DNA sequence: CGGCATCCGACAAGATACTG
DNA sequence: CAGTATCTTGTCGGATGCCG
């Protein structure tokens, strides 16, 4: 069994943060919910077609347990469930933004590199 | 065989970024190299005792391939190898910082929550 | 529609022993 | 010290079927 952060008081901030958002698809999910909110499961799926449903649900559950994401179930037929970021979850916006910004830098870096290589 | 980002031109910035720094221990490694640079393998290990050596080496290799980290080998006995962040790698500082900052927020959030729970 | 359960193959990760 | 080889364990992902 895994030891949750609740038992680990000696975590550094980065360890604590990574234990929560370090999951394979979590940043991507949070990114979606920053783009648009609330979102239904099927909508998240269309944002992230590369993630299979089982994984998506798992990661959503974990985010929900950690109170990053809130899940609202409407008792209707057919079922309707909406996901959105909690208050702490919304505070992740700078994280996602900085990652996207860096992605931009990195893309530029790659292009410069390939230009050098092809221009020899 | 895995398709590298080099063949994928349709990536969004976030996908590109995550494909590079999304590895399980990569943020942690980059964090180390931001604390102190250069670092030897054994030093990184002491920073990150929870990561086993094989994984550490793998992730370092991947970061090296993506030109995030540079690896310098000194031809001496006993062997000496130093790792440090490249220029693009150093640009990841805001990412790591924002993650740590959020970790701080989240810790506060947890403490407030447990205070509520225990104080009922 | 949202979600869980199951089976199954592929591969990532962990522990440990070993080499130059 | 840095890194490899090997074996075991665990996680991921697809497919499929079932339920409210």
Residue B90: what pLDDT?
Answer: 98
Q: Taking residues A49-63, what's their average pLDDT?
A: 94
Q: Do B88 and A104 touch (CB under 8 A)?
A: no
Peptide linkage before B78 cis (omega within 30 of 0):
yes
How confident is the model over A67-100, as pLDDT tens digits?
Answer: 999 999 998 888 899 999 999 999 999 999 999 9
- Token pair 């995550």 is found at B18
DSSP SS3 for A6: coil
Q: Residue A106 half-sphere exposure, CB side, CA atoms within 13 Å?
A: 29
- The A residues from 40 to 99 touching B (CB cutoff 8 Å) are 67, 88, 91-92, 94-99
Instruction: Tell me the three-class secondary structure of chain B, residue by residue.
Output: CCCCCCCCCCCCHHHHHHHHHCCCCHHHHHHHHHHCCCEEHHHHHHHCCCCCHHHHHHHHHHHHHCCCEEEEEECCCCCEEEEEECHHHHCCHHHHHHHHHHHHHHHHHHHHHHHHHHCC
Of A31, A88, A109, the CB nearest to B106: A88
Given the DSSP bridges, would you call strands B39-40 and B80-85 parallel, antiparallel or unpaired?
antiparallel
pLDDT at A1 over 70: no
- Domain locations in chain B as residue ranges: 3-116
In 3D space, the residue among B69, B13, B110 whose CA is nearest the CA of residue A8 turns out to be B110
Residue B3: what pLDDT?
Answer: 43
What sign for the dihedral angle of Cα B31, B36, B37, B42?
negative
How close A74 comes to chain B (CA, Å)? Answer: 26
Which is higher by pLDDT, A94 or B120? A94
Residue A7: what pLDDT?
Answer: 54
**B14 has a chain A CB within 8 A of its CB:** yes
How confident is the model over B61-112, as pLDDT tens digits?
Answer: 999 999 999 999 999 989 999 999 999 999 999 999 999 999 999 999 999 9
pLDDT at B7 over 90: no
Q: Taking residues A30-46, what's their average pLDDT?
A: 95
Tokens of B57: 């080496």
pLDDT at A118 over 70: no
Yes or no: say if B99 and A17 are a contact pair by the CB < 8 Å rule. yes
pLDDT-wise least confident of A77-86, B9-18, B23-32, B53-62: B9-18
Q: Which residues contact B47 (CB under 8 A, 6 or more apart)?
A: B32, B35, B39
Specify the DSSP class assigned to residue A49.
T
Residue B41: what pLDDT?
Answer: 97
The structural architecture, per CATH, of the domain A3-116 is: Orthogonal Bundle (1.10)
Q: Assign B115 a pLDDT band (cuts: 50, 70, 90).
A: confident
Q: Assign B18 a pLDDT band (cuts: 50, 70, 90).
A: very high
Chain B partners within 8 Å of A101 (Cβ)? 13, 94
Q: What percent of chain B has pLDDT over 70?
A: 88
A103 touches strand D (CB under 7 A): no
């Amino acid at each position: 069994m895994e030891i949750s952060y609740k038992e680990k008081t000696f975590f550094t901030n980065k360890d604590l943060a990574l234990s929560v958002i370090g999951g394979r698809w979590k940043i991507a999910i949070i990114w979606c919910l920053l783009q648009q909110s609330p979102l239904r499961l099927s909508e998240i799926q269309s944002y992230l077609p590369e993630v299979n449903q089982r994984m998506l649900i798992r990661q959503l559950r974990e985010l929900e347990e950690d109170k990053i994401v809130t899940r609202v179930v409407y008792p209707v037929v057919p079922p309707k469930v909406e996901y959105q970021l909690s208050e702490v979850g919304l505070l992740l916006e700078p994280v996602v933004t900085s990652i996207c910004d860096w992605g931009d830098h990195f893309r530029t870096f790659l292009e410069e590199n390939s230009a050098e290589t092809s221009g020899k």
